[in-house]
Amino acid sequence: MTDLTADLESSGIPTLDHKNYIMKVFFPGVRINGPRTNYDAAMLQFEQLINNKCFILTFIETLEAQKSFNIRDKVNVASLLMVVLMGKMEYATDILRSLLLRLIDKSVLTKHPQLMLRRTESVVEKMLTNWMALCMYNYLKDYAGSSLFLLFKAIKHQIEKGPVDAITHDARYSLSEERLLREQIDHGMVTLHVVQDDLDEKIQCKVLDCDTISQVKSKILDALYKNTPFSMRPSIHEVDLEWRHGRGGHLTLQDEDLTTKSICGWKKLNTLAHYGVKESAVMSLIPRQNDSFNANCKQPCQNCTGTYFTNSLSPIITVNGDVEAGSNLRIYHLVRPIDEHHYQNNKTSERTHKAIPEIFLTRLLSTKGTIQKFVDDFFNTILTANEALPPAVKWLFDLLDDAARKHSITESEVVHAWKSNSLPLRFWVNFIKNPDFIFDINKTTTVDSCLSVIAQTFMDSCSTTEHRLGKDSPSNKLLFAKDIPHYREMVAHFYYDVQMLPQITDQEMSTAMQQLSVSQIGEFDTVSALKELYIYVTKYSDQILDALDIDPYCKKMHLAHKLENVACTLEGEETSTC
């Protein structure tokens, strides 16, 4: 583990550029770049309306009043608006402030005002997430990112020290009981000598003899390309593993071939032990040969789901491309299930509801102990109020403090919850669970499950409610039970320290937002985003036009007429005749 920090200094952190970072936070799993069309002129008119505060507030309020305007729509509209406003961050901040104050006014009238910003039930909540992502990018890239990256690397390193089932993703070293390999698997460490034509000298790579061939390829690629962002590396599907032994003997190793063993209708994936590979074996990764065997399964996983079998007799490629195999037999790696039904159900229901046996909790605690330093360092980094902290955090927390005073809210838990919901839970938990939103890395299912445990710990640290723990409590609560009081103190101190920072003047905030605007301008095709937004205008045009007519300020500026002009331009008509 001590090598990780040294490694970081030599290899650097594969931080995503600003545009890809924004795409992942704003539109997870979606691509937005439509072709330019004759919409351009109309969209420029529409953009002028979006830049009118009265219009945008009425537009959002009207959309949210429609029953068919669902959560997905709210998230989409918030993200599209922020794309359009990225070059006008001062204005975007003003809109966010108005919407937040409106939300606070509504929340204080409810029975549980502390639940405000807990979920994403309004446009403003997703806008806040996106605004925070824009304000925090440089802080992440230049300051806090290194401790998050080290935490990710430490978890990955620890998991890969022990057996990981390539089919179920269960690991001997895990923080998550759902992904804990409970069976005792005999295994040994093997140091491979990797020879590549384009490398002057061999490199050494530590693997396990119980690793599948795909797992070995993945570890060798990690060693060969440790300074290369994941998306720029060859994939395990593009290379073959060649064992060089004896005088000129070359053997291509595969997860499945004619030597694969079958037991009672189950095929056991090939491992290094299956081939008899021993310490100091010489290996090479070569470009994949086009052979006919398993040709249908040589492609990387495209539409994989998390289930273990597509059906009992189909070829299978698991999530994250950990395995390649094509056959009419069911496949397993380390543990052969008693039956398929047991295999699938045992993963979810049984494991989650029964108290975890002490022997397994001890194993989870051992893994936790190994990565504890990296968890502490990360929490410490992001819960320190210093000069690196973006002014946006102080501005937002002060806004929440002022609103609480204005509404005579005396319970400190309410403001604490608002702050927790706005920064730690809305921003940081997202990146703890999804470090691939900021780094160009491969997050495996096993690593993902461990990150979820840390994210839950961070969420518990931000809560002021005491959780009573017993032997039946879930393991993710028990693991960090002794640390939570300390983490809670850190959170409370952080909020206090931010409160004590000098107030951000309007001029300082204005300058900070102008700098952000300049750095982001022109990054996205705003016309595409405006086109997507305009779909909502078309869908709810009557309601929006009515609202613009009713609002006295909007009426005074003839905003309804201007919106109708956008439609006229779209249809190619003269706007003056509309």
Predicted confidence at residue 265, as pLDDT, reads 86
Contact 175, 367 (CB under 8 A): yes
Task: Summarize pLDDT for 103-112 with one digit per residue, the tens.
Answer: 999 999 988 9
Q: What is the CB neighbour count within 10 angstroms for residue 261?
A: 10
pLDDT in tens, 281-305: 999 999 997 654 444 444 443 333 3
Mean pLDDT value of segment 199-220: 95
Cα distances (Å, whole numbers) of residue 149 to 13, 15, 152, 254, 306:
7, 9, 5, 32, 25
What lies within 8 Å, CB to CB, of 527 at 6+ separation is: 36, 39, 40, 43
Give per-residue pLDDT as tens, 448-457: 999 999 999 9
pLDDT of residue 299: 41
Per DSSP, what are the bridge partners of residue 192? 205
| Maximum CA extent, the chain | 89
Q: Phi and psi dihedrals of 249, rounded to 5?
A: -80, 125
Q: How high is the pLDDT of residue 342?
A: 47
Say if residue 55's pLDDT is above 90.
yes
Q: Report pLDDT digits (tens) over 220-229.
A: 999 999 889 9
In this prediction, residue 95 has a pLDDT band, given cuts at 50, 70 and 90, of very high
Q: 341 vs 288, 323, 346, CA distance in Å? A: 36, 21, 8
Confidence of residue 570 (pLDDT cuts 50, 70, 90): confident
In three state form, how does the secondary structure of 515-536 look? HHHHHHCCCCCHHHHHHHHHHH
CA dihedral 457, 461, 462, 467 (to 10 degrees): 90
Q: How far apart are CA 87 and CA 521, in angstroms?
A: 5
Whether pLDDT at 38 is above 50: yes
Q: Helix or strand or coil: residue 252?
A: strand
- Nearest Cα to 152, choosing from 353, 431, 413, 516? 431
> Which residue has 């806008």 as its token pair?
127
Predicted confidence band of residue 323 (pLDDT cuts 50, 70, 90): low
**Three-class SS of residue 115?**
helix
pLDDT, mean of residues 116-122: 87
Residue-wise pLDDT tens digits, 424-445: 999 999 999 999 999 999 999 9
Contacts of 570 (CB under 8 A, 6+ apart): 39, 42
Provide the phi-psi class of 41: left if phi over 0, else alpha when psi is between -120 and 50, else beta. alpha
List the single range of 75-89, 336-350, 373-387 with lowest mean pLDDT.
336-350
Give 345's pLDDT tier (boundaries 50, 70, 90).
very low
Domains of the chain: 1-30+147-185+336-504 (1.10.506.10), 186-333 (3.10.20.90)
Going by C-alpha positions, the residue among 220, 203, 205, 192 that lies closest to residue 277 is 192
Q: What is the pLDDT of residue 291?
A: 53
pLDDT at 42 over 80: yes
Q: Is the pLDDT of residue 190 over 90?
A: yes
Q: Higher confidence at residue 563 or residue 477?
A: 563
Average of per-residue pLDDT across 89-103: 97
Mean pLDDT, the chain, integer = 87
Report d(CA 130, CA 428) in Å as an integer.
12
* Stretch 71-92: mean pLDDT: 96
- % of the chain exceeding 90 in pLDDT: 70
Distance set, CA 310 to CA 317, 327, 419 (Å): 9, 13, 44
The pLDDT of residue 6 is above 70: no
Q: Is 280 helix (H, G, I), strand (E, B) or coil?
A: coil
- pLDDT for 465: 83
379 pLDDT above the threshold of 80:
yes
CB 491 within 8 A of CB 460: no
